[in-house]
Structure 1
Amino acid sequence: MSLPSNRRRQPSGLSTELVLLWSGIILVALALLLINVAVRLGDLISGTAIRLPGNPFDLVFGLIAGRVGWPRAATPLIIILALVLLVGSIVGVRLVHRLRHGSSRVDTAATYLGRGREVESLSERSAVRTATRLGVAGSPGVLIGRSVQGDRPLFGSWEDMIIDISGPRSGKTTSRAIPAILDAPAAVLVTSNKRDVVDATRDVRARSAPVWVFDPQAIAGEDPTWWWDPLSYVTDDVKAARLAEHFAAGTRDPGARTDAFFDPAGQDLLAGLLLAAALDQLPITRVYTWVTRPTDETPVDILRSHGFILTADQVAGVITAPERQRGGIYGTAQQMAACLTNRAIAHWITPPTDTSVWRPHFSPAEFVRSKGTLYSLSKEGRGTAGPLVTALTVAVVEAAEELAAQSPGGRLAAPMLGILDEAANVCRWQDLPDLYSHYGSRGIVLMTILQSWSQGVDVWSESGMKKLWSAANIKIYGGGVSEAQFLEDLSRLVGDYDRLSSSTSSTKGQTTVSQQLQRERILDVADLAAMPKGRALVLASGSRPTLIRTLPWMSRPDADQVRASIAHHDPRSRPVESVPTSMSTLTAADLMQETRR
């Protein structure tokens, strides 16, 4: 039975005796070379026309025995040649040292990982071929990095779904999120809990398309110059239930236990109240007013008047329930909707009260038809706007899905890229594992970025995280994770290689060298845990695992534009008076008007 292709022999290590033997052979060979070149050139220069032996060994032995004379010109020649050889050796050693200095300790493993045709599906040629087939111009795909073995650029195509797991400070933003945003050919959706990704890319993206920054918690210090009504997403009871699910998931602590009765009942009550407010075109903040008044039957009347009889009966059943049961359900719903009490958040999701200041309303359906960029920011903890970020993200993705259904081939003509950075903290989309593989066929490419496997388990459970991991066509591990079980599973996926080792033993003056074939992990748990910054492991469907060099935005041709964007939005810098802070959103509004016309 032949060995699997991921098992390759490692050259055997050299013993001390073999090292000394080869060193002696090399020195003798160099001496022979220098003497022969010096004597033969010296003879030509001196013009002595001595008959020299053709065999280099005979020439050396002839010099020793006195049968061959030493030309006078050979002395300076051999000195010059020795100096040239010495200088060349020094330069070579320094060059090798420089190359090794730029390499990583895990780079030796690249020899046993995927390379060449084994990662052809990730090659630029394959990505260009896919982009041409899909009619996508301007970008072959999502750049992953350059292979350590072969130094080839690797891409994810516009049909591939991506998941990144990398620990803190491992270069997720600089090497993965920012380059992907800059290269995107159409609309881009970004979630994050930091402002760095916004500052670095917003001005570059705004040069050709509208930019929207949803910043209800003032992470980037953005003013609410536009607004979005979450209830515009609620068109029926099904979408009301989905919106309620986002509120429930976004306010629940990671890993927290849920009550089997009160949590589902509170979520159902919140869904009914959201539907009632949407039907009567009320601001979403009215929902929180209702959850603080358990006896208010206004939402019941609204639901009945619009024909949602069963939903009205459901809400009415809670209102007429025993006091303690009703209080528990309303209290649970109240906790889920707690973010609506934040006045700063309310400015982003309610109509403007000052009619003298125009604030456009964000439309997901119009956004996905543009080449704009939407940044949704929030941070975890008390008062989080995470439920609204999730709701906005889902609204945009579902609008893109509806547009894809109406487009030729059932997919977007220009793919939309979604960067779900810090997804487990700011975008707890419960249905994401079930929908992940589906969106790839719709031209909606999602890149979910997590800090660890357990982060995903806290949000989607162990089975859900496994489903999400399996649904991703491209999986990238960038180091910085210390979870032994996850790293052990990853190490097994990478595979083994056969190592040929040798040992030397001496008995009664006789030396015996024996060789053994040992199977070892290509990258063990310790190697993966200590993955250096600038390296990442890529596992893609149909390809062998491969090691890459990540490419930070600083190495890109447009790095100066990124630096200028960062400097322009640096909180420490003085605002430029000639450019208002709302310029990007005003531009977005103007372009939205153009799209509408």
Structure 2
Amino acid sequence: MTRAELHSVENHDATTTDPTPARSMSERSEPGRGWHRTVSRGVGAAWWWAILPTLRSGLASPGWARLSTAAASALCRWRVQLIALGVLLTGLTVAVLAGTATPQNPAVLPTLGFLATVGEILAGAAAVVVAVPIVRAVYPHTIRGRVRIRYGFDGWASWWDLHRYVSAHAVRAAAVASRPSIAAAASAPGGRPDPGRIERLPAGRCGTWLGRTVVGPVVGTDCYAAHRDVIGLIAPPQTGKTALLGHHVIDHDGPVMATSTKVDIYDYCAGARAEQGPVMLFNPENLGGLGSTVWWSPVRGCADSQTAAERAGHMVGAAASGDDDGDRWDDWAAAVLCALLMAADLNDRDMATVARWVFNPTSDARTGGAAEALALLTSAPAGRVPAGAADALRQVLATDARKTRDSIFLTLQRSVKFMTDPTIAALVTASPDPARSGAVGSGSAEFDAQAFVAGRGALFVIGSDRAHAAVAPLLAAFTGHVFETAKRVAATRAKGRLDPPLGMFLDEVALITPVPLDRWLADAGGRGVHIEWAAQSPSQLAQRWGARGADTIWNATNVKLVYGGLSLDEDLEAVSRLCGHRHEPVTEPDGRERFERVRVCPPDRLRVLPQWHAVLIHRATPATIVRVRPVWTRRDLRPAPPRSVIEPSTTTPRRTDDTAPAAA
């Protein structure tokens, strides 16, 4: 894709590149206006960014929680309860007698009404006091009470910690600083950001909702992550991961790509996303009985050597393990696959031809094996094939080390194994020309990553986590195609980032879309790509990307959400250490009190977090625990929109070049 082509994409930032509007003639000529605006802006900043947060922090002070605890303890004493019971009976008696009395003198009616009101007030206040012991007895058995009591007040993030980094205020400020469109919407007529307008921006437009706090000095604070942050979810099965991801997909302000092993995320979110833009489904295996609405060829665009190298790297990397021992064969396999993809695209072949070359690694071009690709590259017109592009393929085919060649092609065969499934093969060998493709229906559409990144649509990618990762290489290449396109388009935009940002929500990333996250996360946020990944445990990251790769991913993730249910000691211990320590008072046998340094969230308590709860660890704040409201409880959910489905063919499709089936 050339730079000129990227500039031809509809740029939604064209009208917001310079958010400073020209001042009107009346503003320039009217004396005193500049002084008035300066004072107004200063007063607004003082109110929104100093006075109001201070008032809120006072209301959220932990002193109120301690005061309420002390008051509840005092009200539970038997003398207080006995007095309250007497007041309750007295108030009820007065209210009933005064309310039912029928005096002969009408002048007494106001007095009786006053007495009835006083009796009701006394009875109501006394009933509250009498109910305190009952509430205190029931509260520890509720989910909220168990969390509040078990995980305590101290050591968790304070109100100011949350306000500075993970509040609606924080993500609004980050959005104004990084997105020209948001800055323009929050600017006053003079062109400068207005504090009042900033604080009134919808928080969901500026960041990603993470949940509501349930521990610490204050509860009930909604937490958000900025779109420049990377979010990581560690969630064992059935702990509520989809309940949160659904919110993120629906609320994201911009194009969305969501991957999953189940169709739940599509069912919950497709209808709501259809109100913002087109909805596309890429479901190669037709999971849940849902056919794809778009098709995509991994070969398309591979005439460019850089694109071919990217696709080959993603496909081979997805089929490889996280062990360092396989790196040698993986590099060779990626280089060979790069040459095969380039040869196919330069000669108008499809993925079925590439699979045939991989499953037939012969050095004789007449047999139609991999040597045919080498012959096509060698005979290509000058300038179309970069120097050295075919060297890896030539060396592998010419080597006498049969074991080496077999190891390389075995890796390649795992990378293109998805072509042995006729349903998947039909989806990746389609053609824009209906006369050349019998694999798709008339309503099919080729996926256009460039238009997708520039719009506000939603792309749902569904794939199974079958053994040997049959479909993972295809989905990894497809996801990589979207990410690389986003990077190229972002380079042409204001500040070098997409506005609105692209949201990539990668559920079960280690199973179905094992893309090189350890390299992506470093600068994705700076390009306007908001990445959220989800895995079942930290050890699953190490299994896929290796120990060093998993450490890189973990360190580059700004916002971590860890659900309960982890069982490995090393996983629990690592998260518990991140939660930090607190000082807890301990009474000695002689009555003296000392403070002991203990974990804020010990491993045993981390393991038993209730469902819909997660520990939130932000890079700049102490940890806290948040509760998530399941996405299926939202009132704005809509049925999935009607789909133009690509129907799979019953047999592996053939192209006009009469290629053989992909299977060996």
Instruction: Output the TM-score relative to the length of structure 2.
Output: 0.69
Change (3 A) 1:580 1:546: closer
Quote the sequence identity (%).
Answer: 24
Q: Is 1:141–2:193 an aligned residue pair?
A: no
**Cα deviations across residues 506-549 of structure 1 (Å, max 9, x unaligned)?**
xxxxxx53333222211100001111112211111221211111
Distance in structure 1 (CA, Å) of the matches to 2:568 and 2:341: 40
Classify the secondary structure of the residue corresponding to 1:103.
helix
Change (3 A) 1:317 1:410: same
Which of 297, 305, 308 pairs up with 2:386?
308
Q: Is 1:250–2:318 an aligned residue pair?
A: yes
Larger Rg: 1
Change (3 A) 1:535 1:358: closer
- The amino acid that maps onto 1:417 is G
**Higher RCO, 1 or 2 (CA under 8 Å, sep at least 6)?**
1
- The amino acid that maps onto 1:463 is R
The count of residues paired between Structure 1 and Structure 2 equals 506
Classify the secondary structure of the residue corresponding to 2:521.
helix
- The amino acid that maps onto 1:160 is D
Q: Is 1:496–2:581 an aligned residue pair?
A: yes
Q: Is 1:170–2:244 an aligned residue pair?
A: no
Question: Shift of residue 410 of structure 1?
Answer: 0.7
Instruction: Output the TM-score relative to the length of structure 1.
Output: 0.77
Question: Shift of residue 203 of structure 1?
Answer: 1.8
Task: Report matched runs for 1:164-243 at 5 Å.
Answer: 164-174=233-243, 176-243=244-311
Q: Please name the residue that 2:17 is paired with.
A: none
Distance in structure 2 (CA, Å) of the matches to 1:203 and 1:90: 49
- The amino acid that maps onto 2:219 is G
Larger mean CA deviation between 95-104 and 396-405 belongs to: 95-104
Change (3 A) 1:147 1:300: same
Q: Is 1:107–2:181 an aligned residue pair?
A: no
Classify the secondary structure of the residue corresponding to 2:454.
coil
- The amino acid that maps onto 1:244 is A
Classify the secondary structure of the residue corresponding to 1:374.
strand
Unmatched 5+ stretches in structure 2: 1-61, 67-72, 95-118, 186-201, 366-370, 432-436, 647-664
Q: Is 1:277–2:356 an aligned residue pair?
A: no
Distance in structure 1 (CA, Å) of the matches to 2:452 and 2:342: 24
Change (3 A) 1:30 1:228: same
Which of 609, 629, 632 pairs up with 1:531?
609
Question: Shift of residue 328 of structure 1?
Answer: 4.0
Change (3 A) 1:555 1:378: closer
Distance in structure 2 (CA, Å) of the matches to 1:266 and 1:418: 28
Task: Report matched runs for 1:150-161 at 5 Å.
Answer: 150-161=219-230
Q: Are the equivalent residues in 1 in contact too, given 2:580–2:599 (CA < 8 A)? A: yes
Which of 84, 91, 99 pairs up with 2:131?
91
Change (3 A) 1:299 1:549: same
Q: Is 1:514–2:592 an aligned residue pair?
A: yes
Question: Shift of residue 183 of structure 1?
Answer: 0.3
Classify the secondary structure of the residue corresponding to 2:595.
strand
**Cα deviations across residues 96-142 of structure 1 (Å, max 9, x unaligned)?**
45654241533243522002101121111222222234234761210
Distance in structure 1 (CA, Å) of the matches to 2:289 and 2:76: 70
Q: Are the equivalent residues in 2 in contact too, given 1:243–1:271 (CA < 8 A)? A: yes
Question: Shift of residue 495 of structure 1?
Answer: 1.5
Larger mean CA deviation between 283-292 and 494-503 belongs to: 494-503
Distance in structure 2 (CA, Å) of the matches to 1:369 and 1:84: 60
Q: Are the equivalent residues in 1 in contact too, given 2:208–2:225 (CA < 8 A)? A: yes
Unmatched 5+ stretches in structure 1: 1-7, 13-20, 43-78, 505-511, 569-578, 584-597
Question: Shift of residue 260 of structure 1?
Answer: 5.9
Change (3 A) 1:34 1:356: closer
Distance in structure 1 (CA, Å) of the matches to 2:85 and 2:413: 89
Question: Shift of residue 152 of structure 1?
Answer: 1.2
- The amino acid that maps onto 1:409 is K
Classify the secondary structure of the residue corresponding to 2:300.
helix
- The amino acid that maps onto 1:205 is R
Q: Are the equivalent residues in 1 in contact too, given 2:573–2:603 (CA < 8 A)? A: yes
**Cα deviations across residues 415-456 of structure 1 (Å, max 9, x unaligned)?**
1111010000011112x1122030111111000111100111
Which of 71, 76, 79 pairs up with 1:27?
79
Q: Is 1:286–2:286 an aligned residue pair?
A: no
Q: Please name the residue that 2:110 is paired with.
A: none
Distance in structure 1 (CA, Å) of the matches to 2:441 and 2:252: 37
Distance in structure 2 (CA, Å) of the matches to 1:263 and 1:440: 29
- The amino acid that maps onto 1:115 is S
Task: Report matched runs for 1:65-84 at 5 Å.
Answer: none
Q: Are the equivalent residues in 2 in contact too, given 1:294–1:330 (CA < 8 A)? A: no
Change (3 A) 1:235 1:26: farther
